[in-house]
Structure 1
Amino acid sequence: METPIVKLDIQDLETVYEPSEDSFLLIDALEADFEKLKKAKPVMCLEIGSGSGVVITALAKALNRFFPAYFMAVDINSNACRVTKRVGQDNLVDINVLQMDLINLVKKENTFDVVIFNPPYVVTESLEVLDQRLISKTWAGGIDGREVMDMLFPHIPNILSNNGLFYLVTIKQNDPISIINVFKQWKMSGEIICDRKIRGEHLYILRFVKITL
């Protein structure tokens, strides 16, 4: 899977998350899963909190070689939305971008075949989650780094198609096994599909699917 060209200027970097090890690990995980993704032939793909747009653009570039699909990105940060759109255009893919907090405006059920989420996962005080500085919203995760992602989790079974795939970035402090167990209550099965140790962090990529009888 080709890593997209991403050009961020100094002004962009003041508010938009620069692609980093977690972004690249997520792209690597999608690449490792690419045969599974091709077999699923996703029609609707969504990235929540797209930041620079590097991940959804990489997925779009890869899948567009085999079949057409609709790619949507949402972010609370209007600057991130602008950059995501630009990165898609620079890499010759069409990303439909909406500014919203998590998925507050997404109402349709069982819509998306692929959902990607690289959340703010850093362990912080709860008050830091409420910090109005846009750059803080890219990393401040609150208690156990879970406060933002825990708000989203109950909605995933509703927006994910019956055969859909949900990819999530976490770190060790988020307790990935606990997250997998949380999803069991919604009849979803999860597993760690990729991990990497970097500069004092241990990153994990989790993949979830609905349990079908």
Structure 2
Amino acid sequence: MTATLVKAWKAGRAELEAAGVDQPVIDSRLLLEAAADVSRLDIITDPHREVSETQAATYNEFLARRARREPVSHILGRKGFWKILLRVTPDVLTPRPDTEVIVDEVLKAFPEAMAFNMLDLGVGSGAILLAVLAERPAAKGLGVDVSSEALAVARENAANLDLDGRVALLRGDWTSGLADASFDVVVSNPPYIATEEIETLDPEVRDHEPRLALDGGADGLDAYRTLAPEILRVLKVGGLFAVEIGHTQSKAVEALFRDAGAAQVRTIKDLSDRDRVVVGVRNPLETGV
């Protein structure tokens, strides 16, 4: 029997449903689009278009990998984030919509024509930094990561987006070696999963995401204990910070930043109405800067 787009999609959805995949309809469609070189519109408006044997074989391979709970982003090697498309590999966290809260906060704080200097700690694929710079042509940024493999991905993404002229990427341990009061805005999506909780995560995360980007220590807060005073050190007076958190960590992370001297500390919720990002400023009343 000749395979068509709609038959392939339905069969793929059933296979992923049986495997317990969370979003079988969306995932099977994304994999079909890639395997058959079609768009979502093609599937809707031309559902009886034939799928070649080669395309069907590729699609079946993709489905088998997804059924083993490999993330779609790893199968396709790409992931959309904010308004940009990023290359993604197992060496970096797959960008998630929750993290777009940070991008939104930075863009609201800095008008389009304003020049500013941004730091992204634990830059990974470059998602946050590149999404902001893509919309703020006068801005420049530095991304720091301890993983040379992650930096290679970020470097490729910057080049693909024609942003490499405004981005510097540095292998390092958080803010080590960076000067005081150097940045107008500092962002980070650090590891915040408690060590003992990692084995309870979905297989897509537990088995395929870099452990270095997940493990936040015994209580998930290790990175913030380091970052709170260091972020305030490298921020300019009055500068903005925004860090992603686990949805139960708002009070603890806010307290760490307040204790380090931050002002206007508050938590922003994500689209699921969960606490997601702690923001604040370096106190403009500080002296001795």
**2:135 partner amino acid:** A
| Residue number in structure 1 paired with 2:251 | 177
> CA contact under 8 A between 2:268 and 2:275: conserved in structure 1?
no
| Residue number in structure 2 paired with 1:110 | 181
Relative to the length of structure 2, the TM-score reads: 0.61
Per-residue Cα deviation, 1:21-51 (whole angstroms, up to 9, x for no partner): 33333334434x2xx2128935211100011
- Distance of aligned partners of 1:154 and 1:125 in 2 relative to their CA distance in 1, 3 Å threshold: farther
Shift in Å, 1:74: 0.5
| Residue number in structure 2 paired with 1:161 | 236
Q: 2:171 pairs with 76, 79, 99, which one?
A: 99
Counting strand residues as a fraction of each chain, which structure ranks higher?
1
Q: Percent identity?
A: 24
1:17 equivalent to 2:93? Answer yes
Counting helix residues as a fraction of each chain, which structure ranks higher?
2
Q: 2:262 pairs with 188, 191, 196, which one?
A: 188
Relative to the length of structure 1, the TM-score reads: 0.80
**2:136 partner amino acid:** L
**Partner Cα separation in structure 1 for residue 141 and residue 224 of structure 2:** 21
> CA contact under 8 A between 1:114 and 1:160: conserved in structure 2?
yes
1:86 equivalent to 2:156? Answer yes
| Residue number in structure 1 paired with 2:85 | 5
| Residue number in structure 2 paired with 1:73 | 143
Work out the number of aligned pairs and report it: 194
- Distance of aligned partners of 1:40 and 1:113 in 2 relative to their CA distance in 1, 3 Å threshold: farther
**Partner Cα separation in structure 1 for residue 105 and residue 183 of structure 2:** 19
Q: 1:63 pairs with 131, 136, 139, which one?
A: 136
Per-residue Cα deviation, 1:114-147 (whole angstroms, up to 9, x for no partner): 1010010112149x9xxxx991111111122101
| Residue number in structure 2 paired with 1:207 | 279
Q: Please give the secondary structure, in 2, of the residue aligned with 1:74.
A: strand
- Distance of aligned partners of 1:147 and 1:187 in 2 relative to their CA distance in 1, 3 Å threshold: closer
> CA contact under 8 A between 1:112 and 1:161: conserved in structure 2?
yes
**Partner Cα separation in structure 1 for residue 155 and residue 84 of structure 2:** 13
Residue ranges of structure 1 left out of the alignment (5+ in a row): none
